[in-house]
Amino acid sequence: MKLGARMLKTGLAVAVSLYVATLLGLPSPVFAGIAAVFAIQPSIYRSYQTILEQIQANIIGAIIAILTVLTLGNDPFIIGFSTVLAIGVCMKLNMKESTVLLAIVAVIAIMETTELDFTTFALMRFSALTLGILSAFLVNQFFLPPKYETKLFQRIDRSTSDILQWLRVTTRHLSDEPALKGEIDRIQDEIRRIDQTYLLFSEERTYFKKNHYLKARKLIVFRQLIATTKKAFDVLKAFHSLDEKIESIPKNFQIILVQELDKVIHSHEKLILSSMGRIKKDHKETLRHISEPDIPKLVEALIHVYREEDEHRLIFLPLATQLMEYHQHLKHLQRLLKSYQQYHQQEQLKMTD
């Protein structure tokens, strides 16, 4: 089992909150640990974004609990009513689910029956919950800060490599149908994770003007890398859906199809390597001289097959369209990388920690 950074941070935040609550002599330090679990966020920006909301939810829960106990008591049905009231107030303020849960914990924790002075008891429970929130915030800030740029690049590289390998196998009719179907589902899930990671990376804030422009340039490059990977995946799905039908068309068209797709795949691979800085600038086949796939030739051959053979072969035209769009994405990515490497050589995309 692989332990992610967020799992480790959650454990550390719970431990820190419990330890500090015990040192301060707060009763039931377990509530500090519970609050820490709700307060852990996947990014520093989201941690900043939610800490005030979490403290507000804690205050809302505490106020509702104190007022209810002082006026109606703490009968179980009264506690249930207070919980509903806290949920309603938080939803009215458009708070997130984890924040609403924290308000509920505050209500239940403070409305518990106690022999202590109620005001003192409520203040201690409120302090324990606030301590848990602050502990999680500090752990989020200083322990294993997320490196979403590195993670994003690695996921794009890994997914693109998988897609291109399966494209090579599929176009030669060597793929195993169940295996490919399972891989398509897996890659689809990985692309969703790429989108989530891109969102988290884009949310990270920069505090200097120079870094702001650097970040903006990287976001543009990453966005096109992701778009090109998605288009390659669309081509793979198109081949998968037409795999058996492709075998029925003339051999000469199959040969042209494989040749042109190999050129497109080769272009994509070289662009990924170039973005990693692994292609020499003085190499005789630089980024400027990538072999150009002749997509119009492919479409022309497909139209010839349609005219000469069978009108049902028209179903292959969407595949040619996908290839054309894939090629256009590659050309756009090529222009972006050329500009990025020409004018911002010192700004390398982070591939490793």
**pLDDT tens for residues 171-228?**
776 666 777 788 888 999 999 999 999 988 887 766 566 667 777 888 888 999 999 9
Closest CA to 47 of 173, 175, 144: 144
Q: What is the residue whose two structure tokens read 């909301």?
A: 53
Instruction: Name the 3-class secondary structure at 312.
Output: helix
Residue 84: pLDDT band (50, 70, 90) is: very high
pLDDT at residue 2 greater than cutoff 50 = yes
CA 13 to each of CA 4, 25, 152, 207: distance values in angstroms, whole numbers, following the listed order: 14, 18, 26, 26
- Rounded mean pLDDT, 66-88: 90
pLDDT at 1: 47
pLDDT at 289: 47
Higher pLDDT pick, 45 / 124: 124
Q: Which long-range contacts (CB under 8 A, 24 or more apart) does 109-112 make?
A: 109/28, 109/31, 109/65, 110/61, 110/62, 110/65, 110/66, 110/69, 111/65, 111/68, 111/69, 111/74, 111/78, 111/79, 111/82, 112/74
pLDDT at residue 111 greater than cutoff 60 = yes
Q: What is the pLDDT of residues 219-263, one digit of tens each?
A: 888 999 999 999 999 988 888 777 666 666 667 777 777 777 888
pLDDT at residue 275 greater than cutoff 90 = no
Higher pLDDT pick, 312 / 126: 126
Q: What is the residue whose two structure tokens read 């550390």?
A: 12
Instruction: Say if residues 262 and 168 touch (Cβ distance below 8 Å).
Output: yes
Round to whole Å and give the CA distance between 289 and 263.
Answer: 12
DSSP structure class, residue 95: -
Q: How far does Cα 150 stand from its chain's mean position?
A: 12
- Angle value at C-alpha 178, between 174 and 181, nearest 5 degrees: 95
Instruction: Name the 3-class secondary structure at 340.
Output: helix
Round to whole Å and give the CA distance between 43 and 270.
Answer: 32
For the record, the structure tokens of 353 come out as 């920690």
Q: How far does Cα 306 stand from its chain's mean position?
A: 42
Average pLDDT, the chain: 79
Higher pLDDT pick, 87 / 145: 87
Round to whole Å and give the CA distance between 133 and 135.
Answer: 6
Q: What is the pLDDT of residues 277-291, one digit of tens each?
A: 655 555 444 444 445
pLDDT at 201: 86
Kindly report the number of other CB atoms within 10 A of residue 312's CB atom: 10
Q: What is the residue whose two structure tokens read 């990515």?
A: 333
Round to whole Å and give the CA distance between 296 and 298.
Answer: 5
Closest CA to 51 of 124, 145, 135: 135
Q: Which helix (H) or strand (E) holds 46?
A: helix 44-72
